[in-house]
């Protein structure tokens, strides 16, 4: 699970770089290079009993389910409802699948 969470964080960082460079149309320099460095430095994880919390700049990006349960599978990506709890209406993807979609602002909804 550790490798998959690192991959998720890399996808989040890549989306932030794309946002700052207007998807490659601008060079990453000056202010934007500084904000990317700060973003990179301030994203991390906090382990809980049921979930791994992805945090950035003092906000919760989302949660990853640690073990299979009645509603969710291990690795499911959940949107944050509060600082300490995920939204449990539906999973936004699973870190063990290759086709999940995320943004630097949070998990995307499933279609």
In terms of Cα–Cα distance, which of 83, 6, 62 is closest to 14?
6
pLDDT at residue number 24: 78
Provide the number of structural domains found in the chain.
1
| Dist. CA 83–CA 64, nearest whole Å | 14
Q: Kindly state the average pLDDT of the residues 35-54.
A: 95
Q: Which domain holds residue 32?
A: 2-107
18-37 per-position pLDDT tens digit: 999 988 788 888 888 999 99
| Dist. CA 62–CA 55, nearest whole Å | 7
* Nearest-10 Cα torsion for 40, 56, 47, 4: -50
pTM for the model: 0.89
| Dist. CA 55–CA 98, nearest whole Å | 22
| Dist. CA 7–CA 11, nearest whole Å | 6
Percent of the chain at pLDDT exceeding 90: 80
């Amino acid at each position: 699970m550790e490798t998959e969470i690192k991959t998720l964080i890399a996808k989040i960082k890549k989306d932030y770089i794309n946002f700052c460079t207007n998807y490659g149309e601008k060079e990453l320099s000056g202010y934007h290079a500084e904000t990317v460095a700060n973003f990179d430095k301030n994203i991390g994880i906090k382990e809980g009993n049921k979930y791994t919390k992805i945090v950035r700049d003092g906000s919760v990006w989302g949660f990853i389910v640690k073990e299979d349960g009645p509603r969710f599978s291990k690795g499911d990506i959940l949107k944050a409802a509060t600082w300490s709890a995920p939204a449990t209406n539906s999973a936004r993807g699973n870190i063990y699948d290759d086709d999940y979609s995320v943004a630097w602002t949070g998990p995307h909804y499933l279609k």
